[in-house]
A and B are shown apart, each in its own frame.
Chain A
């Protein structure tokens, strides 16, 4: 590494570049996929690449994965920066020298691939059942080793392990088909797998798929909806998270621009993004600009108090840098992203929330979502639900997408439960994919339900 650090310094001198940062990333990953007892993929791979950025009032970036091109990538980034010249500014700060390895109890690298294969087979066997026409099990783990250095003299080494397991079934009856699935994941070791009650969860997934076969579509229109902790997670990710990513705000692409300090949500609503939570899927020690990850209070008692930021937007908005610049890989430039986003607990029990609903829905699970941050409209999907009448849970309803307006829906939250959970790993797309987690308590709000009734 020393020669590369030195070489970068020389090249910066030659090209007159003030600031640059370089990431050398080694990824080692394993993946197993099985459908209906048949293995579809078993892979074990490793790769090393470089991503180099240089700043000259605007960013130049270059990446390569052929070792013979590493030096050229650094020089290319610098040449581009010189060519570009803009008038933006970035937060620099003090140099950081650190080494962080996210610790796990039982490294998955010490579990051989045969054992992982037998896990996948065991789950496949457990997923068998009447009316189950398709089963899929997906296991993956990866270790990302990053060496980050910049022209300030920062040198940061991080090791981030990440593990995930997911399984799904498709049920079929009388020409109707439905599926259901469950995912687990974290910056954890094999202990994640050992902690899963496979019998319970495989039975749960089958039961819900069959339940969906019997369920009818929910009604449509705007109505009261109780979201479970998993649905609250995707709700807050879409309704708030993306619109507070400071790059969107700066670029005029967020309806929350210019609203810092403004009351945009109900009293008592507190929303946090915290990449430092131990073991969560969206956790990381340093971001991809070498800034230490920080817990950020986004909404405090209904008031918008901060944006998630990177070096450039922290400077632009005069905010404290909070380490939310993340890149999908060495060949991507960091963007402002979420880590683990969640709603903090309120003081309602689930039973009390239920009693509030005369006529509405109780919707559960995360089917993903999407947001148009400039228009302020978002969509989020639930995996299944129930009709609620006079505080009672009645008939089941199918999966459905819901929609809302950012500025209305955060004010329409009527009650906030006391049962926050952040354990719903997933990948968030913004032109690049990064692992995230989200969650919250049960909440009661109003949303447009896209049912077929």
Chain B
């Protein structure tokens, strides 16, 4: 426990309240490359302490930034949180009690933690150089970021946990003009990656831009089509709020309890997977990370829950309380996995949609969506005919009813999914 938190805990122990302290500190270095030139480099530091206080069934929350508060600042933090608990009327459902936490492997890499900024900067220059080598007609840009962060939870039920994790993010973007075409690639990791990963990012972006520049609008189509993991991620985003415990509790979900049959696929949230960027040993309230079957063979089995909404719904927390020191816990996914199925879709011949955009214009409550196709292609006798600018339209509940996952999964940051065969419509 850090020194400021120890002092804060001492202050809290003399108050007649239940309490929880969540703290974070860390730093990041990130680099932005434009037109194959390193243009912006930055190094950021952040730290802060968030305090939740439960008093007579009501919750108060406040935070401070920095880890070097004076005694007066700490006292004021406690006063503010207690005062808010008195007037706030936000229901307090207790804090989690300590359960055994198993440490997730491979979410901290000393190589990222200890890399000197100068060396990270050199890596970014190398990335820019690599773009200059590989480019044809394309204009290339991208980014590279490295971060290390520590977060900790201490509460009046005896929880005292701390975890450190590292992150590496890589993105590449390629643009062609006349005719216009764009390609992008984005991936994240928990450990320092070799230069081959940067090469792969650039190559993927270039390949996609070349495909995109050849793409034309497809005639309206209705029927069987394949969604690549990227497009499936967009579809899942439209659907997923229906599985959030707060949305369920407040009547903004299709589901009021588990049990409904919605298709024939399995969807899992799993924060315990080694080396994945969405993994953690415990969530923002100190609940252990877990593997949660959200949908099992088409049946809704569970929701994404934190301690509060689990309590409201009479369920158990699934360890999905995400957090920053600036906020009370909010529900979110850790790593989302669409389980592979039986379909062999690697050599699929027909209409394939790779990427769509505009999912926040969709309606998760009614399920209606119309998403612009950034890139798709038709495969005929092994030959690729790319298309774009159509819209993929439908209703997410109807679409998922037809979903048949393929065999081979691919990872896009914290989303792991195979291709999926669906009945769909392009206009």
Q: Tell me which of A174-182, A188-196, A198-206 binds B.
A: A174-182
Say whether B38 contacts A84, CB under 8 Å.
Answer: yes
The answer to whether the Cβ of A48 comes within 8 Å of any Cβ in the partner chain is yes
By a CB distance below 8 angstroms, the chain A residues around B62 are 43-45
* Given A84-B38, A405-B389, A448-B391, A170 contacting B252 (CB threshold 8 A): yes
Partner of B84, one of A44, A63, A68: A44
The reply to whether B141 and A253 form a contact with Cβ atoms under 8 Å apart is yes
Contact B141 A452 (CB under 8 A): no
Once the chains bind, are B84 and A42 in contact (CB under 8 Å)?
A: yes
Q: Are A220 and B393 in contact (CB under 8 A)?
A: yes
Asked whether B374 lies within 8 Å of A372 as measured between CB atoms, the reply is yes
- What CA separation (Å) do A80 and B125 show in the bound complex? 13
* Residue B371 is within 8 A (CB to CB) of chain A in the complex: yes
Partner of B372, one of A73, A255, A331, A403: A403
Which A209-227 residues sit within 8 Å CB-CB of chain B?
Answer: 212, 217, 220-221
Given the complex of chains A and B, what is the CA–CA distance between A72 and B27 in angstroms? 13
A-contacting residues, B348-387, CB 8 Å: 357-358, 360-363, 365-366, 368-372, 374
The number of residues on chain A lying at the interface, defined by a beta carbon within 8 Å of a beta carbon of chain B, is 82
A114 CB contacts on chain B under 8 angstroms: 87
A379 within 8 A of B: yes
Considering the complex, give the chain A residue whose CB is closest to the CB of B121.
A83
Q: Which residue of A lies closest to B37 (CB)?
A: A86
Given A372-B182, A401-B370; A36-B67 close (CB under 8 Å): no
Contact present for B180 and A376 (CB under 8 Å): yes
| CB nearest to B355 among chain A residues | A372
Q: Is the CB of B34 within 8 A of A401?
A: no
* 8 Å CB contact of B361 from A80, A179, A333, A380: A380
Which of A43, A45, A405, A450 lies in contact with B393, CB distance below 8 A? A450
Whole-angstrom CA separation of A110 from B394 in the bound complex: 49
Name A47-64 residues within 8 Å CB distance of B: 47-49, 58-64
A401 and B391: CB pair below 8 A? yes
User: Would you give the shortest CB distance from A347 to chain B, in whole angstroms?
Assistant: 31
The 8 Å CB contact of A83, one of B67, B118, B246, is B118
In the complex, which residue of chain B has the Cβ closest to the Cβ of A371?
A: B357
Minimum CB distance partner of A81 in chain B: B41
Bound CA span A68–B47, Å: 11
Flag the segment in A287-295, A338-346, A362-370 that touches B.
A362-370
- CA distance in complex: A206, B255 (Å): 22
Q: Is the CB of A379 within 8 A of B181?
A: no
Is there an interface contact between B365 and A179, defined as CB atoms closer than 8 Å?
Answer: yes
Interface residues of B in 48-90 (CB under 8 A from A): 48, 61-68, 80, 84, 87-90
The residues of A that contact B90 with a CB separation of less than 8 Å are 39-42
Q: Across the two chains, which residue of chain A brings its CB closest to B375? A: A375
C-alpha gap A117/B14 in the complex (Å): 30
Is A390 an interface position by the 8 A CB rule? no
User: Which of B38, B80, B391 is the most central at the interface, judged by chain A CB atoms within 10 Å of its CB?
Assistant: B391
Q: Does B43 contact A (CB under 8 A)?
A: yes
* Residues of B close to A398: CB separation below 8 A: 363, 366, 368
Whole-angstrom CA separation of A398 from B361 in the bound complex? 12
- Tell whether, in the assembled complex, residue B65 and residue A66 are in contact, meaning their CB atoms are under 8 Å apart: yes
> Counting chain A CB atoms within 10 Å of each CB, which of B41, B68, B246, B389 scores highest?
B41
Taking a contact as CB atoms under 8 Å apart, the answer to whether B388 and A62 are in contact is no
A134 contacts partner chain B, Cβ-Cβ < 8 Å? yes
Residue A111, interface by CB 8 Å:
no
Q: Is A103 an interface residue (CB 8 A)?
A: no
User: Is A451 on the interface with B (CB-CB < 8 A)?
Assistant: yes
Which listed residue, B35, B254, B368, touches A399 by the CB 8 Å rule?
Answer: B368
Is there an interface contact between A39 and B88, defined as CB atoms closer than 8 Å? yes
Residues of A within 8 A of B47 (CB): 65-66
A372 to B181, CA, bound (A): 10
A381 to B43, CA, bound (A): 37
Contacts of B46 in A (CB 8 A): 63-65, 331
Interface positions, chain A 222-242, Cβ under 8 Å from B, are none
Rank and list the top 9 A-B pairs by shortest CB-CB distance, nearest first: A450-B370, A381-B361, A66-B66, A252-B139, A379-B358, A61-B42, A65-B65, A134-B251, A450-B391
Chain A contact residues, CB within 8 Å of chain B = 35-36, 38-45, 47-49, 58-69, 72-73, 76, 80, 83-84, 86, 88, 113-114, 117, 133-134, 136, 170, 172, 176-179, 212, 217, 220-221, 250-253, 255, 257, 331, 333, 367-370, 372, 374-381, 398-403, 405, 448-452
Given contact pairs A375-B182, A451-B370, a sample of 10 additional A-B residue pairs in the complex whose CB atoms are under 8 Å apart: A35-B250, A43-B62, A58-B41, A63-B42, A170-B251, A255-B180, A379-B391, A380-B361, A399-B363, A451-B393
